[in-house]
Structure 1
Amino acid sequence: MMQHAHAPVHAAAAPPCPTRGENRISLNNRFDLVYEHADQEVDTTASRRTRRGDFLRAATWAITHRLHPKAGDTTLRVARDLAARLNADGHVAYCRDAMWRRLGISRRTLERHIAVLRELGLLVWAVHGTRTNTRPAGSGEWAGTATIYAAVVPRAWDDALGHRVSGHGYHARHIGFTEHGRQLAIADARRRARPTRCRDTPSCKTNHPRPTAEMRGKKNNTSAPRGARPRPRRRHEIPEPYRASPDQAAHAVSVAAWVRPRVPWTQGEGLRRLAFALRPWIATGRSAADIAADLSVWRVPRRPASPASLIMARWSETEGRNKRAADPDSREDRASAVPPNAAFLAAMDAVRARLTRVSPPVEPEPDPPGFVIRDRILASLAQADRARRARTAEQCLTFAEWESVCDARERAPW
C-alpha cells in the first residue's frame, strides 16, 4: 500500500464570498447564512422588505428546512412575537427587556435567537439602539434610542416558492409567480379556504315531546293546540315595595342624587341602583333629609362592596321585625307589659326639647342651578390656568415644563 493512501483528504476551497447585496445562494444550491454584521443592514441586505404574513411563512419555512443549525421552536416563538408588533412599514421595536420576560426565556437566549433570525436573512437593522440620552440637558431624565428591526425575507425563499421579484436588496418587490409558483400559491390558497372540521360534543338532551297539531279542514296550515305554548314569564319579578311608576322612579332618582353626596359610604354606588334601593324608604313618606340622616347613623363598612344591596337587606330586616311585632303573640306580650308613667314621659319630652335647642333642625339647602355650577367650574379652571402661567423657573421641576409655561404665556391674550 502506498504511503499516502491513508492521508486525510483536504476539503475543497470555499466558493468566493459574493459581493455585498448579491443573492447569497451557494453554487451547490445550499443556503448561505448571513454572518457578517455589515450585510445585516437595511442598505446592504440581499433580502427584500415584507409584511407580517410573508415574514412568518418565511420564518417557518427556514426553520422547518433546518437552514440554521441553532434554529428551533424558540426561534419561531421569537419571530411570532416580533410579527405581532410589526407596524405598517414592516418595522418593529426590539424592546429586549420586556420581550424576554414576556416569552419566559433568558436575555441571553433571546439575543441568540435574534441573531439566528438575522443570519437567516429575516431581520435587518433599521436603527441601531444607543444609550445616548435623548432628553434635554439638565432635565434630570434619561431615555436612550431604541433598536428598530425591519422584517425581510431572503431570496432563497422567493426562489423556493416561485416568486418573481423585481429589483434587488431591501427595496425589491414581488411582482408575480412562475408556473411552479402559481401552482403552489393556488394549492396554498385552497388549503387556507378549506373549512376546518370541528367535532362537536353530542348533546345530552333528549327530544322533548311536542304537542300534536290540530287539523282544521283540508288546509295544509296547522297550528299547535291552545295552551300548548306556555306564556312567557318575566325573568325578574320586581317585589312589591320596589315597584314604581315613571314619575315615582324619577322622584327616587332625584332623592338619591341629593342623598349620595351627603352619605359617604353610598358614593360608590350608581345613581339608579341607589334610587331603586331607596324606593321603599321614599314610599313611607320620608324626605331626602330624613333618609340621609338615617343612613348616616348606620354602622356599616367604610366602603361597602354594594351599598344598594346593603340598603335593601336592611329594609328586609326592618320589614321582618315589623311583621313579628304585628303577630298576635307579640301583641299579648305588649299588653302584659307595664306602660310608661307620666314622670317618664315628661322626662322624655324635656330631653327632646333640650336636644332641639342645642341642635335645631336644619332645612336642606336647595341645589344651585346648572349655570351657577358651570360658572364656578369655569372660574376655577381659569384660576388654575393663571396660576400655572404665573410659575417661575425655580418652581418648575424640568426644563420642558418651563418651556411649556413660556409657550402658554406667549399664547395667552393680552
Structure 2
Amino acid sequence: MSERLLAKYSGSVPRYTSYPTAPHFHTGVNCDIYSQWLSKLDTGNNLSLYLHIPYCDRLCWFCACHTKQTLRYDPITTYLAALRLEIAAVGAKVPKGAKVTAIHFGGGSPTMLKPEDMTDLMACLRASFNVAADAEISVEMDPNDLDEARYDALAAIGLTRASLGVQDFDPTVQKAINRIQTFEQTKSVVDAVRARGVGSVNCDVLYGLPHQTLEGVGRTLSDILSLSPDRVALFGYAHVPWMKKHQTMIPESALPDIGERFRQSNFASRLLIEAGYQEIGIDHFAKPSDSMAVAARTGRLRRNFQGYTTDSADALIGLGASSISQLPQGYVQNMPATGEYQRMVEVEGMAAVRGVELSEDDRMRAYVIERLMCDFGFDFMPLLANFPAGAHALISEARAFARSNPDDICRVGNASFTITPEGRPFTRTIAAVFDRYLESGRGRHSIAV
C-alpha cells in the first residue's frame, strides 16, 4: 500500500456502529418518546438486551468506554439498585409476547460484580422480560476480577459466550496502557469457562498501541492462537484524548504512525488467516464453523453498537448509564453520568436523554453503510425494492463516486457497488461518502486505518 493512498484515505471518520452516528443524537428524544416506542414493539418481535456496568477497579488508559474507576463496592451496589428499577420499568412497557434472544453484559468490567449480584441481575431480567431458554448470553471479562465463585455465577446465569480483552501481551505495551494482564491469567479464564460448558470464546487484540512492534504483535497473536478462540477482534487503537481525558496518559510520541499501524494490521490479519480463521468485515476473524463466519458467507452479518454481530433481533434495548437502544423508530441513549442516571431512574423509571428518529433517507443510508461495512458492497435491486423513493438518487451518488475515483478503491456496475480488495482497508472512508450528517462537523473521530 502506497504512502499516498494511506495519507489520502485514512482521515478521521466514524466507526459506523450506527447511522446516524451518536454525535448527531439530540435531546428531542426523551423518556416520553422512548416509552411510546417501546410500547409499539410487536408481541412477535425478538429482542436483544445490553446491560452496561460502568465501573472498573483500574482504568486502562487506552479505553474509550463510558466507565469510571472505583476501589469500593458501595457505588456499584447503589448503581445496581437503579439498574434493577430500570429493568422493571422498561420490561413493563414491552409487550409480553416479545422474546429476548440475546443478552450482553458490557462495561466497564461486568465481572467486578459479586457472584450474588450477577445471579440477582439475571433473575431480575427473567422476571421482567420473556427470556428465551436458549438465549445467547455473553459477558465481557477482565481476568483480574475473576475467581471460582464468579465463574460459578457466570455458569449459573447461563453464559454462552465469553469475551476477553487481551490487547497485547508485551509487558512494555501493557505498562504504557495501564493494562497488566499475563498470558497465564488469560489462559486460566479460557480454561475455566470452557470447563463450565461455555461453547464460545472471543479475544480482542489491538494494534497501533504505544511501543507496539510487528514482532510484539506476532508474539501476542501466537499466544492467542494457542488458546484456539472461536473469534478474534482486531481493532485499531482509537486515540481520542479530546473525548477521553485519561488517554492523555499515553505519550503520543510512542504511538506508531499510520504506515506502521497499517503494517501491524496487515501482519496480524495474515497470521490469523494463515491459522485458518475467516476474515469478517474490517476487523473480525472467526473459525469457519462459527456462526459469525456462516453469517458473513450467507449475507446475514449485521452491525450494531457492539460491532459485528449475528444478532437479528428486531430491537436492541440498552439498560444502564450511557447505553443505547436501537428500536424500529430510531435510537435512544441513556444519561451517561451514573449519578444523574440513578436520579432519573428513581423518579421516572427510565433515563433516556437523547436520540434520533429515523427518516426514510436515514434508513436507506443506514442500510447501505451497514452492507458496505459487512459485505464490502451493496446490490441495487434490494435497495430499489426497499427504498423506491430515494434509491435512484443514492445509486447516482455511488456511480459518481466510483467513476471519479482514480485509485480503484471501488467499482460500480449495472447492478452493484463494490469495494475492491485494495479499497477494503478504507471501508470506513468509503462508507462516509454516503453519510449526509458528516459534513455538519459534529463530533471528532479516530483515524480510519
Question: If the TM-score is normalised by the length of the shorter chain, which range does it land in?
Answer: under 0.3
Relative to the length of structure 1, the TM-score reads: 0.18
Larger Rg: 1
* Greater RCO (CA < 8 Å, at least 6 residues apart): 2
TM-score for both structures, normalised by structure 2: 0.17
Higher fraction of strand: 2
